[in-house]
Amino acid sequence: MNVLMKTKHLLTLPFQINQRQKSIVVIVALGLLLASVILGGFFLSNEKIATNLEYRNLGPMLAHPFGTDWLGRDMFTRTIKGLTLSIAVGLVAAAASVTIALTLGIMAATMGKVIDGIISWIVDLFLSVPHLVILILIAFAMGGGAKGVIIGLALTHWPSLTRVIRAEVMQLRSAEYVQMSKRLGKTRWYIARMHLLPHLIPQLLVGLFLLFPHAILHEAAVTFLGMGLSPHQPAIGIILSESMRYLSTGMWWLAFFPGLCLLVIVRAFDVMGEQLRIMLDPHRAHE
């Protein structure tokens, strides 16, 4: 019996993978999915989203997998191009939010109690109000459009990550090599650039991936309400907003497929962020 159990263990051992390897496989697979969407948005012809009344109001079929709308535009092409636009807006906004969070987090942890108290109060203030409310106000004040949405997203999605970075920096600044740099007369800028920033890169990457889904969803919500991107752009929020007028006529595919694709993309970024966090965690990566 012992011989059989040892033989079974030896046969199954080469096929066992740890959590880090699983995370890499998931990240690569989802990365290929997102890359295919982005490339599709750039290479799909604009002719299919031009008005063609001969093919209007067609349901899903082989030639038009997502059907066509009331102007004969191919919904598959509009959806892919809309997702590409949403990903671009979300990437810029998430990167700006990460930059704000990094700056404020380091300032709060290294520039004394007064600055720490001010930044903590601002973080609590932003967290006490729903993101969407502040985002709508900022986008409206900036005149809407892509600029207003990006600025609104960047200014509303940094507080949570700021707290994480502040806590990490406060832990790092008590490290022995940081204290040694202070005794050697190194400036705060040198310590932040050479000692703190390299240790914050994993948190920044995870934060970027986890902020991305919120940015895309909020962009779609603001655009859906008419305060976001221009109606002439094939954004997902615009597609969903326009489709509401035609759902009662039985044209369900106008909202179903774009909404489903948006949820898939958002979930893909969310899973990538979680898997990246697991992969960078030394306690869970080798489980």
Q: In this structure, is residue 117 part of a structural domain?
A: yes
Which pLDDT band holds residue 283 (cuts at 50, 70, 90)?
Answer: low
Q: In this structure, is residue 27 part of a structural domain?
A: no
Domain extent, residue 246, equals: 36-44+66-280
**Under 8 Å between Cβ of 149 and 89:** yes
Query: How many Cβ atoms are within 10 Å of 221's Cβ, its own excluded?
Result: 17
Please compute Rg for the chain using Cα positions.
Answer: 24
For position 260, which CATH number holds?
Answer: 1.10.3720.10
DSSP state of 164: H
Q: Bigger pLDDT: 188 or 26?
A: 26
**Under 8 Å between Cβ of 40 and 80:** yes
Q: In this structure, is residue 78 part of a structural domain?
A: yes
Q: pLDDT tens, 121-161?
A: 998 888 888 878 888 888 888 877 778 888 888 888 888 88
pLDDT tops 70 at residue 190: yes
pLDDT tops 70 at residue 169: yes
Q: In this structure, is residue 129 part of a structural domain?
A: yes
What global pTM score does this model have?
0.78
Residues 6+ apart with CB under 8 A from 94: 153, 157, 208, 211, 212, 215
Q: In this structure, is residue 265 part of a structural domain?
A: yes
The number of folded domains in the chain is: 1
- Is 68 strand, coil or helix? strand
Residue range 263-272: average pLDDT? Answer: 86
Only one residue has tokens 């909404």, namely 259
Mean pLDDT computed over every residue of the chain: 81
pLDDT tops 70 at residue 238: yes
